A = this chain, B = another copy of it.
Amino acid sequence: MMTKNRLEGFSDGVLAIIITIMVLELKVPQSAGINGLKELLPLFCSYLLGFIYIGIYWNNHHHLFYLTKRVNGVIMWANLHLLFWLSLFPFVTAWVGKNHLSSFSIALYGFVALMAGCSFHLLERAIIADQGVNSLLALALGKDCKEKISLLCYLVSIFLAFVNTWIAVGLFIFVAFLWLVPDRRIENFLATTYSS
């Protein structure tokens, strides 16, 4: 009933701000020279990971709405719900960086990542509910293995953080790599559909 343009524009705005807000936490260090850089290293690494995460979400959001024809009130709130959890990334990123990878901060990061993942899934469901299970989008998304694996990794990382923080961090990096290959389901699906 409504066009998707403004929803895309607003989401792009929020994601652009989230991805650049994180760099605001990179304050010029007290120590000059190479020692100052070393001081910043944990914060810089968590900024890099956060940048990749938000980049992944932007890519997937782009693909998702590429196949969405129209939006309704439920989709708009599902999208705002996703943006809410994503907006907490700069905060947990700073927490992890400043507490030098404490167990609690890693678990919190995993929790926010889990909630963001779940809200993306809910957004997909809201769009499919509107467009029908036989829509292009429903067919293109298919079995969404990557999503399920990611959510499982986030869930496990919350508990693993209290056992061994490095394994939990390793899980976050693993999920990032999993998605850095962009979601070819939709690209491939389009290629198959329109070439035949």
- Which residues on A are within 8 Å of B, measured CB to CB? 1-3, 6-10, 12-21, 23-24, 26, 28, 32-34, 36-37, 48, 51, 55, 58-59, 62-63, 66, 72-73, 76-77, 80, 83-84, 87-88, 90-91, 94-95, 98-99, 102, 104-105, 108, 180-184, 187, 190-191
Q: How far is the CA of A62 from the CA of B72 in the complex (A)?
A: 11
Please, which residues of chain B bring their CB within 8 A of the CB of A98? 28
The 4 closest A-B pairs by CB, nearest first: A13-B16, A73-B182, A33-B104, A17-B20
The answer on a CB contact under 8 Å between B37 and A108 is yes
Please measure, in the bound complex, the distance between the C-alpha atom of A36 and the C-alpha atom of B1, giving whole angstroms: 45
Known contacts: A17-B13, A23-B87, A28-B94. The answer to whether A182 contacts B77 by CB under 8 A is: yes
**B6–A6 contact, CB under 8 A?**
no
Given contacts A17-B17, A21-B23, 10 further A-B contacts (CB under 8 A): A1-B191, A2-B62, A10-B16, A13-B13, A14-B16, A20-B21, A23-B90, A24-B24, A28-B91, A28-B98
Contact yes or no, B10 A58, CB < 8 A: yes
Which label, helix, strand, loop or mixed, suits the secondary structure of the A interface? Answer: helix
Bound-complex Cα distance A52 to B166 (A) = 36
How many subunits of this chain does the assembly comprise? 4
Partner of A102, one of B7, B9, B33, B105: B33
Whole-angstrom CA separation of A107 from B72 in the bound complex: 34
Give the residues in chain B near A58, CB-CB below 8 Å: 10, 80
With both chains docked as a complex, state the minimum distance between the C-beta of A185 and any C-beta of chain B, in angstroms.
Answer: 11
Q: A55-B80, A184-B73 are in contact. Are A87 and B13 (CB under 8 A)?
A: no
Subset of 30 A-B contacts with CB under 8 Å: A1-B190, A2-B187, A3-B66, A6-B12, A6-B62, A7-B62, A10-B12, A10-B15, A10-B16, A12-B13, A13-B16, A14-B16, A16-B16, A19-B87, A20-B21, A23-B91, A24-B90, A28-B95, A32-B104, A34-B104, A36-B104, A51-B84, A59-B73, A59-B77, A62-B76, A72-B187, A73-B182, A73-B183, A73-B187, A77-B182
